[in-house]
Chain A
Amino acid sequence: MKLKRRRIKRGRIEIIPMIDTIVILLIFYMTFSRFAEAGKEAGLKLPDSRAGDEFKQLPNQVIINMYNKDEVYIDKQKYTIDEVPPFLDHIREKDPRYAKMSLILRGSRDMTYADLSAFMKACAKSKIVDVTFTTSEIK
């Protein structure tokens, strides 16, 4: 009696289910990923702190990313600290959301008190008193 040899099944990549899973995972990650807050400078190293509330940006808050007094970024645009008050006054006049403006300072940990002082003088020029300091949580 002649036995029939079973044919070896060749492995193959299943394209259609792979596309299905890729699309599903893509939708999943797009849904659950936090869209990076606009106006945040990713390369900025914040100072550490233990205290502080969870970071959130209110509609009337403007994020100021500051490396030093000559390097200030607002919405990816570079300014010097002296250019900030006219810019803030301009957007306050243009957008009613910013009528009662407050600032979020994302200052680099390498800044000095002289830079912070220049920032505070800029706040005073724009008559802004509400300032939030952003820090990095100590783990």
Chain B
Amino acid sequence: MRFQRRSPKRGRVEIIPMIDTILILLIFYMSFSTFGATEKRIDSRLPLIATKTSNTPPIDIPLDLAIHVFNKDRMTVNGAEYEATGLRDAMLQLASIGQKATIIIDGDADTSYQAVISALDACAQAHLTNVAFRPLAEKAGSAAPPK
């Protein structure tokens, strides 16, 4: 009696279920991925500020420009009033003539951080990086007067 040899089953890649699973997984990952906001960095070099509790000697910074931030739409530069875009234009103009400036930013106790960053952003856009912040005077609730 002659036995018939069983032909070996050839392995093959299943295309259609693979496409199905790829699509399902693609939808899954698209649904659950968080669209991350791009974060940026603005570098700054702070002066060492002497506080009442520290023994650090104060370092004087020559005051060229003092930006006082009231809110996002109202900032003063050495007394002249600007809004955020106006401030950026003024800073760009300053930078275009090669003027190197030391900028000191201050604000009121209730000035929003976003407004302060807008002022810093205006300086950064003009590549004016020599920026410092003046901290609020103890218990006074407003920025300490310039030295």
List residues of chain A with CB under 8 Å of any chain B CB: 13-14, 17-18, 20-22, 25, 29, 46-56, 104, 107-118, 120-121, 123-125, 127-137
- Look across to chain B and name the residue whose beta carbon is closest to the beta carbon of A104: B41
Whether A121 pairs with B135 at a CB distance below 8 angstroms is yes
Interface of A is mostly: mixed
B-chain residues with CB within 8 Å of residue A118 when the two chains form the complex? 135
User: Contacts A14-B14, A29-B29, A121-B135 given: A130-B45 contact, CB under 8 Å?
Assistant: yes
| 9 A-B pairs with least C-beta separation | A52-B40, A51-B124, A113-B107, A111-B113, A14-B17, A47-B117, A113-B111, A49-B121, A55-B39
How many pairs, one residue from A and one from B, have CB atoms within 8 Å of each other in the complex?
A: 160
Q: Are B39 and A134 in contact (CB under 8 A)?
A: yes
Stretch at the interface among B2-10, B51-59, B75-83: B51-59
Looking at the assembled complex, report how far the CB atom of A71 sits from the nearest CB atom of chain B, in whole angstroms: 14
Closest CB of chain B to A119's CB: distance in Å?
A: 9
User: Measured between C-beta atoms, what is the minimum distance from A46 to chain B in Å?
Assistant: 7
A122–B25 Cα distance when bound, in Å, is 48
Q: Which residues of B approach A to under 8 Å, CB–CB?
A: 13-14, 17-18, 21-22, 25, 29, 37-51, 53-54, 56, 69, 106-114, 116-118, 120-121, 124-125, 133, 135-136, 141
> Which chain B residues lie closer than 8 Å to A130 at the CB level?
43, 45-46
B-side interface mostly: mixed
Tell me, rounded to whole Å, the shortest Cβ–Cβ distance linking B34 to chain A: 8
Across the two chains, which residue of chain A brings its CB closest to B15?
A17
The contact of B18 among A17, A104, A117, A123, by CB within 8 Å, is A17
Please measure, in the bound complex, the distance between the C-alpha atom of A132 and the C-alpha atom of B43, giving whole angstroms: 4
12 A–B pairs (Cβ distance < 8 Å), ordered by A: A18-B18, A25-B25, A46-B37, A49-B42, A50-B125, A51-B42, A53-B41, A112-B109, A113-B113, A113-B136, A130-B46, A134-B40
Determine whether the beta carbon of B39 is less than 8 Å from that of A46: yes
> Which residues does chain B contribute within 8 Å of A104, judged by CB atoms?
41
A112–B107 Cα gap in the complex (Å)?
9
Q: Which residues does chain A contribute within 8 Å of B136, judged by CB atoms?
A: 113-114, 117
One of B39, B50, B112 near A109 (C-beta < 8 A): B112
